[in-house]
Amino acid sequence: MTPKTLILALALAWATPLLAADQPVIGSAGPWPADFIKGADISSLAELEKQGAKFYNADNQQQDAIAILKASGINTIRLRLWVDPRDGSGQTYGGGGNDLTTTLALAKAR
């Protein structure tokens, strides 16, 4: 090992703990208060299910999407309601086809 390589190796060995000490330590944000709102926007869920999407829980078991969300602590949902979500040929515009019927079905889901 050349003297330059040895000096560089020693300098890196000395500096590594110093560099690591400057990194922020991020702790847990919890525990959450009992009335803490944890929400999810499920506006696209009906469209995803219509296209055959499948959802898996933390144990990699296929499960209903809303059941997974509930098990994860989600206690509030957001739903979009479009006044006129379809074009002249009856196709949705790509942002979801949440008319009143679809939105009510999602709101009452499981």
Domain assignment present for 47: yes
State pLDDT tens for residues 8-63: 777 667 666 666 656 677 777 778 788 899 999 998 898 888 889 999 999 999 99
Domain assignment present for 102: yes
Most confident of 21-25, 89-93, 100-104: 100-104
Domain assignment present for 3: no
Domain assignment present for 21: no
Structural domain tally of the chain? 1
Domain assignment present for 65: yes
Res 74: pLDDT: 92
Boundaries of domain holding 51: 39-109
Domain assignment present for 105: yes
The count of C-alpha atoms lying within 13 angstroms of the C-alpha of 74, restricted to the half-sphere facing its C-beta, is 15
Q: Name all contacts of 50-59 with Cβ < 8 Å and 24+ positions apart.
A: none
Q: Note the pTM of the prediction, 2 decimals.
A: 0.63
The answer to whether residues 44 and 78 touch, using CB atoms and an 8 Å cutoff, is no
Domain assignment present for 61: yes
Domain assignment present for 93: yes
